[in-house]
Structure 1
Amino acid sequence: MDTIGQAIGLFAVTNIDDIVLLALFFARGSGVPGSAARIVAGQYVGFAGILAVAVAAAFGATFLPEAAVGYLGLLPLALGLKAAWTAWRERTGGEGGDPVVKAPGLLAVAGVTFANGGDNIGVYVPVFANAGTARMVVFAAVFLVLVAVWCAAGRFLATRPVVARALSRWGHVVLPVALIGIGAVILVDGGAFGF
């Protein structure tokens, strides 16, 4: 039970920012058939990638050199710039009427989740290395259950009337800003610019 409690605490601390991103993704895909399933699947694919790298690194088989971790910020930065361009284009011209809502795809969600997980990997590796194989399996199982809880929380937030109205009105601005911000933070914190 002690390991389960530690796993819950570790997941919550390292993934609090994902609830906001998930709420933005769910709001963006609101009313688009199949978008919720793609968002959940993307979150699982991205988090499975984080776990795979952390477990491999804990066993000593690092896939990414430390110098490359900072460059993971390029993915959310590029997705944020693309989302900003799309939002700007929809607002400043194009066809009249309401802009077309483009729900996030599985690979976009997975990519943002993985890129945003650089700090997770940095925290998980020493914990997994000290935990041993049996406890590492417990950590991974608890984390995978909590991904579903996080997805439910993100969807819950996106469907609260006040939050839904705000995201409906400002989500086209908030999502690109959040992705660009996350990308920039990952690039800077990861040392991509040499400082």
Structure 2
Amino acid sequence: MIGQAAGLFAVTNIDDILVLALFFAQGAGHKGTTRRIALGQYLGFAAILAVAVAAAVGATFLPEKAIPYLGLLPLALGIKAAVQGWRHRGDAEEEKEAGDRGPRPLEVAAVTFANGGDNIGVYVPVFATAGVGGMSVYVAVFLVLVAVWIAAGRYFATRPVIADSLSRWGHVLLPVVLIGIGLLILIEGGTFGL
């Protein structure tokens, strides 16, 4: 069952490594970046698990029709990052660094939760059929693998070639990726008749 849990986590969260790497690039050189990103990632993923577990045992806090609207979170954060990047495009590098302390935990959590909203639909039937003991194994494996994902995102963001590209283009990539994730969630969910 541990192998199945690891496989399910990997398949449903592969895109998070890119998002985490972008967050790490955004916070490069700032104290506490890893802690803030890890806290946000765990908060967001814990919320995904809480909703999935609750739905698996019969409680539904989030109507299925509401899940696609979670795309508004990364869309709004992406637009905010794009506007901030545009406003500070002519600033000296020191001013940019002084004004930006990297991603905040709640921003990371919001993106994690919104990006994992579709995972809830996958996790619920798996959890419901696994029973309480099996569900506990899935949750434990998932929580361990969140740490592995955080380490992988940090690893990729600190590789010289990738770090150089992310430092040069991260201010463009992060808003594009967040807006893309938001639009994808909205469109795939059929919100607003899209």
Same fold (TM over 0.5): yes
- The corresponding residue for 2:96 is 100
CA distance in 2, matches of 1:109, 1:149: 16
Number of aligned residue pairs: give it.
Answer: 191
Identity in percent: 70
List per-residue Cα deviations over 1:66-123 (Å, max 9, x = no partner). 11111000000000000000111111x4x44555142000000000000001111011
TM-score by structure 1 length? 0.95
State the SS of the aligned residue for 2:96: coil
CA gap of 1:21–1:99, structure 2 versus 1, over 3 A, is farther
Give, as a single letter, the amino acid of the residue that structure 2 aligns with 1:79. Answer: L
In structure 2, which of residues 31, 36, 39 is the aligned counterpart of residue 38 of structure 1? 36
Q: Where do 1:22-101 residues align within 5 Å? A: 22-91=20-89, 93=90, 95-98=91-94, 100-101=96-97
CA distance in 1, matches of 2:48, 2:124: 10
CA gap of 1:177–1:99, structure 2 versus 1, over 3 A, is farther
Give, as a single letter, the amino acid of the residue that structure 1 aligns with 2:66. Answer: A
TM-score by structure 2 length? 0.96
List per-residue Cα deviations over 1:120-139 (Å, max 9, x = no partner). 10110110011111000000
Q: What RMSD in Å do the two structures reach over aligned CA positions?
A: 1.1
- The corresponding residue for 2:148 is 149
Please tell me whether the aligned partners of residues 85 and 171 of structure 2 are also in contact (alpha carbons under 8 angstroms): yes
CA distance in 1, matches of 2:110, 2:95: 25
Give, as a single letter, the amino acid of the residue that structure 2 aligns with 1:87. Answer: G
1:182 corresponds to 2:177:
no
- The corresponding residue for 2:13 is 15
What is the Cα deviation at residue 147 of structure 1?
A: 0.2
Give, as a single letter, the amino acid of the residue that structure 2 aligns with 1:151. Answer: I
CA distance in 2, matches of 1:155, 1:77: 23
The unaligned stretches of length 5 or more in structure 2 are none
CA distance in 2, matches of 1:185, 1:84: 18
CA distance in 1, matches of 2:23, 2:157: 9
CA distance in 1, matches of 2:146, 2:173: 23
What is the Cα deviation at residue 194 of structure 1?
A: 2.8
CA distance in 2, matches of 1:88, 1:166: 19
CA distance in 2, matches of 1:37, 1:118: 23
CA distance in 1, matches of 2:49, 2:168: 35
CA distance in 2, matches of 1:33, 1:146: 24
The unaligned stretches of length 5 or more in structure 1 are none
CA distance in 2, matches of 1:19, 1:184: 19
Runs of 4+ in 1 over 6 A off after TM superposition: none
Please tell me whether the aligned partners of residues 42 and 108 of structure 1 are also in contact (alpha carbons under 8 angstroms): yes
Give, as a single letter, the amino acid of the residue that structure 1 aligns with 2:30. Answer: V
State the SS of the aligned residue for 1:193: helix
CA distance in 2, matches of 1:97, 1:9: 42
Please tell me whether the aligned partners of residues 67 and 191 of structure 1 are also in contact (alpha carbons under 8 angstroms): no
